[in-house]
Structure 1
Amino acid sequence: MGYAERVLLRNLSFLVPSASFVAVIGHNGSGKSTFLKALTNQIPYQGQILVQGQPLPAKSQALARSLSYLPQKNNVAFPIVVRELVVMGLFRQKKLLENYTAADYGKADAVLTHLQIQHLAQRTFTELSGGEQQLVWLAQLMLQNTPLLLLDEPTQSLDVYHKKKVFDLMALWAMQEQKTVLCVTHDLLNLMNMTGYLLNLSQPNPTLEVISPENVLAHQRFLEEKEWHAPSQA
């Protein structure tokens, strides 16, 4: 799994229990974002990915029902009302030129209320703070209501308050909403009180390990002390 001739991940195999939180960690360049791009069919890969026991769909509409994805960077270059941006989370589930319905907007309103950001619904997205913008993206992700959620550095550049809020939300998705959440993160300290698993892609043979304060600190030391090298191309 990688780009052109460059392999970033080799012989990666693991089984995620349903309704789990998984923190995907590792050095910069170890393949964390590449792994999520493979899951979303953005890059070619060898092997098989199963979601709920079924091969990952190739068609975009079928894939949209299986998983939702929040990349590291989402750029909005034009003014748009928050409610309109959130409802666009249903875009991939729509047919070409199909309009959003009153029921779609009702679902968007329900998600905004659930996240306690309904007061932002009529605000212009580009005028919000970074933390507020990230909560709006999370609302859009949540609206898609898929069994698998992929998040790439969702707390990057957020303050302490909003970081905790995002991790609390991901814990809620896994424990109460029965979702499986894969989150790429460098924010190991906020993992200390999470329930779920760690997957360290900087290790020679990455495996799922139960999150505990001891494991988190051990992986933190590993990442601080070990230099990462790409897998052999042989």
Structure 2
Amino acid sequence: MIVEANNLVAGYGQRVLIRNLSFLIPAPAFVAVIGHNGAGKTTLFKAFQQKVPYQGQLLVQGQDLRHLSNPAAKGILSYLPQKNTVNFPIKVLDLVVMGLFRKKRFFENYDVADYTLATQTLAQLQLSHLQDQDFTTLSGGEQQLVWLAQLMLQDADISLLDEPTQQLDVYYKNQVFRLLQNWVLQQHKTILCITHDLQNLMHLQGYLLNLSKPSPILEPISPEAVQQNQAYLEAGRQLV
């Protein structure tokens, strides 16, 4: 059992966005978290990070997240926010190697082994040609792949990604989802990914979790399931 939610209730003050949510991910998998704006997608991720109060249980690898101190530092959980910005010149390789920062002591420098690992990660993603370039000069799609390379270097068992393909063109959307799929199948990682790009999920292996439904469950991804959930969301909130 990798991830388990039991009767999760979460929100902000009197505004409850998640009610009695339960699901179980028994093995490494890709889970697309979908739903209308305000359905509780980001709230779910904040609960995983202990940044919003909640009732019920969130378990990772059988352990209650409330009782885990700094799961990110322990390589259990990592997070890629919806917007990551860099406003100063920095080489791609130097940005990627920062994925190891939780494994370093305070003020400890990155060494040759760290940079070798960062170089290998970029090569694995076919991004070696970018490693010496200034990150701020890259296209939006290239930047997102670099952020994913940094996330990979964290090597967490479970990763939370908040709309990683937002504002990307079709080519880079496909690249990102291909990367995430390989990450699950080859590296045996578990990924929870908030997305509105349902059409790009058609032929992936994994699950849909539609938080707009009255009783959300994990639904195996298939073209039929994607189309049904797309129609459900397009029908509007009156069905929720």
Q: TM-score range by the shorter chain?
A: over 0.9
Per the alignment, do residues 73 and 25 of structure 1 end up closer, same or farther by CA in structure 2, a change over 3 Å counting? same
Map 1:132-171 → 2, pairs under 5 A:
132-171=142-181
Do 2:92 and 2:146's aligned partners in 1 also have CA atoms closer than 8 Å? yes
Per the alignment, do residues 62 and 27 of structure 1 end up closer, same or farther by CA in structure 2, a change over 3 Å counting? closer
Q: Which residue of 1 aligns with 2:69?
A: 59
Q: 1:112 aligns with which of 90, 113, 122?
A: 122
Per the alignment, do residues 61 and 216 of structure 1 end up closer, same or farther by CA in structure 2, a change over 3 Å counting? closer
CA distance in 1, matches of 2:103, 2:207: 30
Q: Which moved more, 1:38-47 or 1:60-69?
A: 60-69
Per the alignment, do residues 227 and 79 of structure 1 end up closer, same or farther by CA in structure 2, a change over 3 Å counting? same
Q: What is the RMSD of the two structures over their aligned residues, measured on CA atoms?
A: 1.6
Q: Which residue of 1 aligns with 2:201?
A: 191
Per the alignment, do residues 182 and 41 of structure 1 end up closer, same or farther by CA in structure 2, a change over 3 Å counting? same
> Are 1:50 and 2:59 an aligned pair?
yes
Q: CA deviation at 1:121?
A: 0.7
Q: CA deviation at 1:22?
A: 0.5
State, as a whole percentage, how many aligned pairs show the same letter: 60
Matched residue SS, 1:166 = helix
Matched residue SS, 1:174 = helix
Structure 1 gap ranges (5+): none
Tell me the amino acid that sits aligned with residue 47 of structure 1: G
Q: CA deviation at 1:197?
A: 0.5
Do 1:152 and 1:184's aligned partners in 2 also have CA atoms closer than 8 Å? yes
> Are 1:205 and 2:206 an aligned pair?
no
Q: CA deviation at 1:58?
A: 4.0
Q: Which residue of 1 aligns with 2:31?
A: 22
Structure 2 gap ranges (5+): 1-9
Map 1:207-226 → 2, pairs under 5 A:
207-226=217-236
Q: Which structure carries more relative contact order (alpha carbon 8 Å, separation 6+)?
A: 1
The structure with more strand, counted as a fraction of residues? 2
Q: Which residue of 1 aligns with 2:5?
A: none
TM normalised by structure 2 equals: 0.91
Matched residue SS, 1:202 = coil
Runs (4+) of structure 1 exceeding 3 A deviation are 61-64
Q: Which residue of 2 aligns with 1:100?
A: 110
Do 1:72 and 1:153's aligned partners in 2 also have CA atoms closer than 8 Å? yes
CA distance in 1, matches of 2:238, 2:152: 34
Do 2:72 and 2:102's aligned partners in 1 also have CA atoms closer than 8 Å? no
Map 1:26-37 → 2, pairs under 5 A:
26-37=35-46
Paired residues in the alignment total: 230
